């Protein structure tokens, strides 16, 4: 079992805000201005954009699975 210390609770709160709450808030606030279709496409293309950035920055070399994805 995980013991909940103040340090871990702060980490969980910050991680949840950065990885879940803030991106969803931005997405739902953009839907009325951009439309649901465009927002949905940008949401589903984020793994592809991340792969392109990692290749451009030299973090990862392109492989067959990444290119076909």
Per-residue model confidence as pLDDT tens digits over 14-64: 999 998 899 889 888 989 998 989 888 887 888 888 888 888 998 888 778
- Is the whole-model pTM more than 0.75? no
Rounded Cα distance, 10 and 31, in Å: 30
Encoding tokens for residue 5?
């210390």
End-to-end CA distance of the chain: 38
Rounded Cα distance, 37 and 25, in Å: 17
CA nearest 39: which of 31, 47, 49? 31
């Amino acid at each position: 079992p995980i013991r909940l210390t103040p340090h871990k609770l702060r980490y969980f709160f910050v991680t949840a805000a950065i990885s879940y709450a803030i991106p969803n808030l931005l997405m739902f606030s953009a839907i009325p201005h951009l439309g649901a279709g465009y927002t949905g496409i940008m949401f589903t293309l984020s793994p592809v954009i991340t792969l392109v950035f990692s290749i451009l920055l030299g973090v990862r070399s392109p492989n067959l699975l990444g290119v076909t994805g």
